[in-house]
Each structure stands twice: as C-alpha cells, then as structure tokens.
C-alpha cells in the first residue's frame, strides 16, 4: 500500500484508527482506505454518524466560546483528533490572542497533522499522549510550556470517554486530571449514547460490534453513568443534556433529531 507523503513513518496502514475514522466522518482527507472501509461499516450499522459528529463539533465550539466569554484562556484537549476547520485554537486564539491550546492524541497521524497545522500558531501545540496516562500528559514539556496549572484550564474530553469502557478507570484518570487543575477550571465532556435521539439500542449494539471487530472497545452510557464523571465539578446550566440541547445558538440544530444522539455537559471546579 502506498504511503501518503503526510503520513508519519512507522504507521501501520492495515489498522484503522478512531481519530482517522472521525476525520472521514467529518469529510476530512487525513485517513487511509482501512479507516474508510471500517467507517463505512459503522455507517451501515449506525446511520447518521456524520450528523452526530457534526453536532459534537458544534457543541465543542459552543463550549469554547462559553469558556472564553468567562475569561478562561487555557485549553487542554485530550483525544483531540485531526484538526479541522473551526477547531479549538481557531476559536480561542481568535477571540483572545493570549489563549493557549494543547491538543493531545494517541494517533501519530493526528499529532503530526496538528503540529503541521500549528507550526506558525503561537500559543498552540500538540503532544502524543493518552487519557490512560494523565500524568504523562501533565508532565510533558509541551504542557509545561503552554499551560499554567495555577490558573483555570478547560479540560476537553469530547467524544472520547465512550472508548474507555471501564467506569472506574474513567473516574480515576479524571480525578488525576481534576486534582491538577486550579479552581474555576472547566470540564467539557460529550459521550455516545442511544438514550436520546432517533437511534436505537440495536443500532448502538451493531456499532459496538463494528468497532470491536477492529480491536476498539466502545460503550454507550446513560446520563446517570456520565453524570458520575463530573465528580468534583458543578454542572453549569443547562446541566447534562442531549448534545443539541446544550446552549444551542440557533433553531436549526434543534430541528435535527440526530443532534440529540449523545450526551454533553460542562462542569466547573469549585
């Protein structure tokens, strides 16, 4: 298989990546045929995935604007994926040139492309890291250079935690990150679910099977389970809600039922 010039050396082109499949759903070009094959199977199992991903990105942008409007200018985006138009650094630094953004992903393509995109962007950086190892993220040279943990930080876990099936591990890793953050920090979180919206439990199970077949665990959680991840954070209005209900900026998003296929919330550390 021919390796694209933008693909870092050492990438196994026979193994699909969650980040690159997400890029494909969003219409990006930084994905391989193995990602597209698996993504198309996922779309067969769970129609409407691109719309759901777009709703996730729209929630992310609303949450970034919410944070910036409250004077928080530091962002730690874990599981950030491959940068696309309207990503965190464009919104945050565009609104406040003093903003700082650190993208974290465990996919070498996502990290390499992020670094290329951010090469001439002061205040933004990318590091290879994994939610499973929060200490390594916080201790990285990039984090030490970009983030001042004595001041509030926005911790972004958008469309990530459904790939961590163990509830106890999620809470443990989140506690490590939360305890490192200053009071006033925010947790921005969205999660896959079939509790709301037009998708069915059966479709969710078929999607889980597609990801499991390529070695990726995926779990759909209920609101009560996701609410437990906000331990130590106070949910801001409107609380933990279907993605399209979190501070919608226009009625168009409200009108698409797929915008409610997932759960989202923002919490503030006291």
Q: Which two tokens stand for residue 25?
A: 């759903």
Model pLDDT for residues 129-160, shown as the tens digit of each residue: 999 999 999 999 999 999 999 999 999 999 99
Superfamily of domain 18-269: Vaccinia Virus protein VP39 (3.40.50.150)
246 secondary structure, DSSP code: S
**Are residues 15 and 1 in contact, defined by beta-carbon separation less than 8 angstroms?**
no
Average pLDDT of span 240-268: 84
pLDDT for 196 equals 83
d(CA 214, CA 249): 37
φ, ψ for residue 186, nearest 5 deg:
-120, 145
- Please state the pTM of the whole predicted model: 0.91
Q: Which two tokens stand for residue 213?
A: 């077949």
Q: Which two tokens stand for residue 41?
A: 């199977």
Tell whether the model's pLDDT for residue 253 goes beyond 60: no
Average pLDDT of span 188-207: 91
**Are residues 104 and 83 in contact, defined by beta-carbon separation less than 8 angstroms?**
no
d(CA 195, CA 179): 30
Q: How far is CA 179 from CA 9, 49, 147, 153, 165, in A?
A: 36, 34, 15, 12, 22
Cα 49-132-171 angle, rounded to 5 deg: 85
φ, ψ for residue 81, nearest 5 deg:
75, -160
Average pLDDT of span 63-77: 96
- According to the 3-state scheme, what is the secondary structure of 51-85? HHHHHHHHHHHHHHHHHHHCCCCEEEEECCCCCCC
pLDDT for 225 equals 95
The domains of the chain are located at: 18-269
Q: Indicate the average pLDDT of the chain.
A: 91
d(CA 197, CA 115): 36
With cut-offs at 50, 70 and 90, classify the pLDDT of residue 229: very high
Tokens 């199992």 — which residue? 45
SS3 234: strand
């Amino acid at each position: 298989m021919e390796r694209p010039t933008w693909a870092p050396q050492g990438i196994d082109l026979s193994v699909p990546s969650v980040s690159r499949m997400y890029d494909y759903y969003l219409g990006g070009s930084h994905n391989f045929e193995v990602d597209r094959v698996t993504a198309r199977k996922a779309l067969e199992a769970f129609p409407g995935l691109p719309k759901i991903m777009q709703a996730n990105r729209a929630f992310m942008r609303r949450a970034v604007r919410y944070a910036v409007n409250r004077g928080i200018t530091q962002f730690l985006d874990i599981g950030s994926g491959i940068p696309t138009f309207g990503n965190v650094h464009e919104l945050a630094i565009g609104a406040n040139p003093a903003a700082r953004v650190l993208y974290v992903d465990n996919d070498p393509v996502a990290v390499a492309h992020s670094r290329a995109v951010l090469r001439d962007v002061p205040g933004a950086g990318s590091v290879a890291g994994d939610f499973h190892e929060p200490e390594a993220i916080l201790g990285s040279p990039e984090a030490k250079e970009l983030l001042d943990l004595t001041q509030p930080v926005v911790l972004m876990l958008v469309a990530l935690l459904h790939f961590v099936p163990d509830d106890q591990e999620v809470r443990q890793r989140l506690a490590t990150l939360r305890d490192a953050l200053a009071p006033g920090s925010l947790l921005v979180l969205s999660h896959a679910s079939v509790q709301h919206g037009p998708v069915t439990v059966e479709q969710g199970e078929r999607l889980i099977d597609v990801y499991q077949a390529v070695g990726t665990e995926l779990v759909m959680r209920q609101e009560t389970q996701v609410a437990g991840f906000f331990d130590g954070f106070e949910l801001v209005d409107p609380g933990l809600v279907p993605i399209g209900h979190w501070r919608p900026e226009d009625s168009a998003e409200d009108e698409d039922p797929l915008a409610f296929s997932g759960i989202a919330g923002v919490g503030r550390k006291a």
